[in-house]
């Protein structure tokens, strides 16, 4: 006597006994899916159809997504709601990541993306703007703290400027290295480079 199988579609009643070829025909037709259940006889445990190799091979394959008519198959996720970041693709990020990181380490080099091929890159322009804002802000804050060192408050201000500049440098490096266009804390909304 041939093996007899029992099947149960999600939420449906148990059906069977039926021959293995009949079960395979139901799987091929799509009437049974990979998450539906099967067992060999009434005493066996239920298993999903996709966990049985012979039946999993018969499951209909999902149709591949049609190619994008503009050839933009590789697209990054858009920035989160409420973000002021501009959309930038993964190839743009990869091509300009090193330049963005170097600009946070050496802020005087913020202009390099603006005079190279990266000048059209939203990712490079975003980080160049963040670096320029940091450079101007911390240059002015350092001058102010040096001028105020005569009355001792400048020393405290200078320490705050150094800590804040290091914090923004680290945040910028982390954002650039992970491919994010997240504005820097407190000063990131300032736009000088459009």
Using DSSP's 3-state secondary structure scheme, residue 4 falls into: coil
* Mean pLDDT for the chain overall: 82
Phi, psi of 13 (to 5 degrees): -80, 165
Strand partners of residue 7? 15, 38
C-alpha to C-alpha distance for 32 and 60, rounded to whole angstroms: 10
**pLDDT tens string 2-50:** 678 888 877 777 877 888 888 888 888 888 888 888 888 777 788 888 8
Residue 1's pLDDT band, with cuts at 50, 70 and 90, is: very low
Q: What is the DSSP string of 70-114?
A: TS--S-PPPPPTT--PPP--HHHHHHHHHHHHHHHHSGGGTTHHH
User: In the prediction, which pLDDT does 164 show?
Assistant: 94
Using the 8-state DSSP alphabet, how is residue 150 labeled? G
User: In the prediction, which pLDDT does 138 show?
Assistant: 93
Strand order in the sheet with 14-18: 14-18, 5-8, 37-39, 47-48
Using DSSP's 3-state secondary structure scheme, residue 39 falls into: strand
pTM reported for the whole predicted model: 0.54
Residue 173's pLDDT band, with cuts at 50, 70 and 90, is: very high
On the question of pLDDT at 100 being above 70, the answer is yes
Q: What is the mean pLDDT of residues 132-140?
A: 93
Q: Would you kindly state where each structural domain of the chain is located, as residue ranges?
A: 5-56, 90-177
């Amino acid at each position: 006597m041939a093996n007899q199988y029992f099947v149960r579609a999600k939420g449906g009643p148990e059906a069977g006994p039926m021959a293995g070829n009949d079960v395979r025909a139901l799987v091929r037709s799509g009437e049974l899916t990979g998450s539906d259940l099967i067992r060999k006889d009434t005493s066996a445990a239920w298993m999903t159809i996709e966990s049985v190799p012979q039946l999993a091979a018969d499951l209909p394959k999902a149709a591949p997504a049609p190619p994008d008519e503009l050839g933009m198959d590789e697209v990054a996720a858009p920035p989160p709601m409420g973000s002021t970041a501009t959309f930038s693709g993964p190839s743009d990020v990869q091509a300009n990541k090193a330049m963005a990181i170097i600009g946070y380490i050496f802020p005087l080099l913020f202009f390099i993306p603006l005079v190279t091929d990266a000048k059209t890159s939203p990712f490079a322009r975003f980080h160049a703007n963040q670096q320029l804002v940091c450079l101007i802000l911390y240059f002015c804050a350092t001058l102010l703290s040096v001028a105020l060192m005569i009355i001792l408050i400048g020393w405290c201000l200078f320490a705050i400027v150094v800590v804040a500049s290091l914090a923004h440098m680290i945040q910028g490096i982390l954002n650039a290295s992970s491919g994010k266009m997240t504005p820097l804390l407190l000063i990131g909304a300032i736009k000088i480079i459009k």
